[in-house]
Structures are given as structure tokens and as C-alpha cells.
Chains A and B, each alone.
Chain A
Amino acid sequence: MNLAVNNQSLMLALGLVVIALAISWKEKLGIDRDMIIGVVRAVIQLFVVGYLLKYVFRLNNIWLTAILILIIIFNAGYNAKQRSNGIPNALPISIGAILISTSVTLGVLMLAGAIKFIPSQMIPISGMIASNSMVAIGLCYRNLNAQFRQERQAVLEKLALGADLKDASKEILRDSIKTGMQPTIDSAKTVGIVSLPGMMSGLIFAGVDPVRAIKYQIMVTFMLMSATSIGSVLACYLAYRGFYNDRKQLTV
């Protein structure tokens, strides 16, 4: 391990925040307060998480690990719901979609022997999967809301011709699922060329051979593809009916 971050170097790195604050003050951006709150929250949250993870890793208990994964999934679902802008049942839909996308992806990775059910592997990987699923689902919701309003007349015309809800919404569903998956596909295309992603950078930073590090990154790319596609498909298919009432009439 060749990492050399200690409390003293962290204090000195705080100078970087001072630069950001100085820019905000000079340019009258009015975000000084937000920046300070953000930095203080980040430091506190990360310290709490660091000590908590240290404890959980040492305890190595299956149930505690499972509970933490469920908490991650609930939080991700709750955050995705915040992007739903009034879509009915968005909370259970989001939690369900993230739960299934995370479980399927983790299950495949475990069956493949890529990860083991130990907290030091399961918790960070679950976090990565759930957070990507969360972002994808949030984008799906935003697109569903925008498209049902923008394509209102086309949907009405399809209904008027006797289409069922799925046929009337098919184009919107397709577009929304694509939107949810797009960031993952884009980052998969540019991984290694534009960015050295977090996991790979972290491993290299910690002294792991880059050839080994990329194998982990390849695994991450695969798992995020699976997680965002499952999450997007489930969320879109479960949410679109919320735009209709029980008489199969468009309500937007």
C-alpha cells in the first residue's frame, strides 16, 4: 500500500476548498453557504461511514451485511422517487426495481465467482449498483413525465383507435428506457479513454497492478449495464400505467 493520506495532509488539502470558496466569493456566486455545508456534511458522513464499515467488516455477519444492503436499496429507491414528479406508487416501484436489479446483478456476480458474500465486497458493490440504478430510474421518470406531456395527442389518438395502454405508450416506454441506460452506455464507450473510473483508479492508487485493476473495471462495466437495464425496464413498465386512470384514459 503506497497511500499517504493522513489527518495532516487532509488539513492541508482543505486549502483546495478555500480556493473554491474564494472563487465563489469573488464571482458573487452566492453558493458559499452551500459549499461549506456540503464540505462539512461530506466529512461527517464519510467519517461515520468509514467507522461503520470498519466495524461491519470486522464483524463479518451475514445478517448485518444484508440489512446494510437493504438500507442502501431503500435510500436509492427513496432518492429515485424524488425525481418522479407525482407518478403514482413511485416509491414502491423504485425500491422494487432497484431491489431486483441489485439482486440479479449481485447473484450473477456471486455465481460467476467474481465476488463473495463478505461485507467488504458486497456493500461497496451493492452501493455502486444501487446508485447507478437510482440515476437510471430517475432519468426514466423524468423522460416519462416529459414524453407523456409532449406526445399527449399521439397517445390520445392511439387510445381513440382502440390501442391498449401498452401499445399507446410503446414509443414513450422505449425512449424512456433508452434514456435511463444512456449514461451507462456512454461511459462504457469512453471508459479508459476519457475517464479512469472510481473503482479502477482506487485500485491503482492503492498499488494494485493496472492489468488486474482493469479486470475489476470490466466487471463493473458489465454489472452496471445489467443493473441499469433491469432497473430502467422495471421502473418504466411499472410506472407508465400511472399516467392512465382505471377507465384507461390518459390523465395528463
Chain B
Amino acid sequence: MSLIELKNVGYQVDDTPILQDINLSIDAQEWVTLSGPSGGGKSTLVRLIASLLSPTSGTLLFDGQSVDDYDPIAYRRRVSYSFQQPTLFGQTVRDNLSFPYQIRQLPFDEERAVSGLEYVGLRASDLDKGVNDLSGGQRQRVALLRNVMIYPEVLILDEVTAGLDAENKAFVWSLVEHFNQDDNLTIIAITHDQAEIDAAKRLVTIENGRIVGGA
């Protein structure tokens, strides 16, 4: 049984269809790369999977059960979505890394945060660094770390490497590889980057609101 299954899923705003007839199955621990022209519906598709939007037609199943049957908050803690050009919260890196703990009313695991920061190439002292003092690449790493401070089962990445230099891109990608291979996270990643598309384990192409290849 697939972890995520979309059956004839559609999404429209007023009378304008954004997505039509999407059929897609994603297995646990799979890494699916979504590509296609801008405005084709990729972000809408992953927002449906992240339950930030609901399909206007069709069925979306998670672990064999309709997503509508899950409590949306509990579901989003299992299926985490990382945005392109993320917003960092509060004043410091700590405010961001402690956020997943705050919302679960758990004590902040500072040790994990420090090892996480070191793993993503930052320093332990950066925990109290102001978010405005971070470079673009550092912001993206902190945001990604925020998504995995408490591991989800699925990590959705919406063009997280867009706008990063080659070195940062490679670094972020190696992190995602680690999440997928060593920590068994299912990865759904949107990208326009040709190298990432060429390296895709499974490539799904979306154009004009429909899957045109890879499903």
C-alpha cells in the first residue's frame, strides 16, 4: 500500500481549474521530484498533500485513510512542508528551532538543535544569532532544520534550493539525501534545477494542471 495516494484529484478556484485528474501514488521512503513549467500547479499539488488546501474533487489518501479523516494539525506534524524563501520567526535562530517544541508543548532539545546546526554547517553559537544576520543559504538551512527538529514522516520541499549558489545547493541536497536514506523520510521535492531533475530517482512532470509524465 502506498503512503500517499491521489485518485482523480482536482483543485479549482471559482471556475478556474488549477489541477485536474491527478493520479499519483507515493511509497514510504520514496523520493519523488516534481518538475514542470511555472504556474503548472506543482505548488498547489504539494499544498494539497500538506493539507494546507483541500482538493475540490477526487480523493487524497494517507496511509490508506482519507486525509479528511485526520486531525489537520496532527497530520501536518507527520507531513511537513518547507517553503521556497522561508520566513524565519521571531528574533533568533533559537526562536525558530524551538518552535516545533513550543507548539507540541515539549521542552526544547537544545542538544539536538546544536548538533543539527553543526550538521548543517553552522556553529553552536549561531543558536542565538539574529535571523537578520543570516545569509540566504544559512536561512534556508535553518528553515529546513526547523522542519526536521522533530522528524516528520514526509518532507515536502518547494524549490528550497532556488536562489542559492551552487555550493549551498549541493549542501542542502546532501542534507535531503541524508534525511531520505539514513532517516527514512519520504521526500517530495519541487525543482526547476536541471542537475536535480537529471539526478531524480523518480521524476513526475506537471503541466497545465495535469501530470504529463512519471506517474
Task: List the interface of chain A (C-beta within 8 A of B).
Answer: 153-154, 156-164, 167, 247-250
Contacts and interface: CB of A to CB of B under 8 A. Distances in A.
Contact of A247 (B68, B83, B87, B89): B68
Interface residues of B, number: 25
Interface stretch (B45-53, B132-140, B179-187, B189-197): B45-53
30 contacts: A153-B83, A153-B87, A154-B87, A154-B89, A156-B52, A156-B83, A157-B83, A158-B103, A159-B76, A160-B52, A160-B81, A161-B77, A161-B80, A161-B99, A161-B146, A162-B73, A162-B77, A162-B100, A162-B103, A162-B104, A163-B73, A163-B99, A163-B103, A164-B73, A167-B103, A247-B72, A248-B72, A249-B52, A249-B53, A249-B54
B40 interface: no
A160 B50 contact: yes
For the complex of A and B, the 3 pairs showing the least CB-CB separation, nearest first, are A162-B77, A160-B81, A248-B72
B52 A159 contact: yes
Contacts of A158: 89, 99, 103
Contacts, number: 57
Given A153-B83, A161-B99, A167-B103, A250 B77 contact: no
A167 B102 contact: yes
B161 interface: no
Contacts of B100: 161-162
Contacts of A160: 50, 52, 76, 80-83
Interface string B51-82: 11110000000000000100011101100111
A153 B52 CA distance: 12
The winner among B53, B72, B80 for most chain A CB atoms within 10 A is B72
Nearest to B86: A157
Contacts of A153: 83, 87
B147 interface: yes
B73 A248 contact: yes
A249 B77 CA distance: 14
